[in-house]
Amino acid sequence: MLPLENIYQGRTLVIGHRGASAYAPMNTLPAFELALQQGAHGIELDTHLSKDGHLIVLHDFTVDHTTDGSGAAKNMTLAELKALDAGSKFGAQFAGTRIPTLDEVFESVGGKLFINVEIKSESTETDGVEQAVAECIARHHLMTSVIVSSFNPLALQRFRSILPTVAIGYLYHPQWTFAPEVMDALPHEARHPHHSMIDAAYMEQARAHGWRVNTWTVNDVDEARRLHGLGVDAIITDQPDVMIEALKN
């Protein structure tokens, strides 16, 4: 397992969920840059491939929810995706905001923030996303300031075989599991459970295995303080400013 002390430094990190997504369109450069301005230690984002093989930063597998377009992102070229408005549905002041590429996010805030890259994958087979993510991280020299997570353990297994020097985290929810037995045999640095799963016994088990615990998505101040008291390593939130203030007291 890889050491992560340079990232955590003995503190509970506050990570912007898809950026500061309570205040700006999720998974866009304005949301990531706002998280940085608010003092977040890091950001979390989602990535998968366009039709022509570019890594785009988008949560859903379709563009319907956050843009003025419709259809599956994997069936659209980067040029087609870049033509969409990814800001107006959130607010008129964000009109014209575009879906970013992972390269663009790394260029904007890489080296300034810890970045949790979630690989979006629902298949037992690869579409090449793991290789593309590994190459992008290496190209930007961010191996020590990135963690790669996924709900798909097979994607994590594939990524680990390509770039073993980057930390990985198993993302899960009690009702959303996919081949969890893969993780039993795959050394990994972190667990990313839904916050409702965490209690003292959970933290004891995580520590026994040497896992960091990065939990999502926490927007309630009292819950954040409970988790902080239990010793979680990171709180992923839509409101970095609120969580930072809450954990000061």
Q: Name the active-site residue from 54, 59, 194, 228.
A: 59
With left for phi above 0 and alpha for psi between -120 and 50, is residue 179 left, alpha or beta? left
Clarify whether 65 is annotated catalytic. no
Q: Name the active-site residue from 17, 41, 140, 188.
A: 17
DSSP letters for 219-238: --HHHHHHHHHHT-SEEEES
The candidate with the shortest Cα–Cα distance to 87, out of 100, 102, 106, 73, is: 100
Clarify whether 54 is annotated catalytic. no
Question: Are 113 and 29 a contacting pair, CB within 8 Å?
Answer: no
With vertex at residue 32, the alpha carbon angle to CA 26 and CA 38, rounded to the nearest 5 degrees, is: 115
Residue 6, both tokens: 């340079």
What amino acid positions are annotated as catalytic residues?
Answer: 17, 59
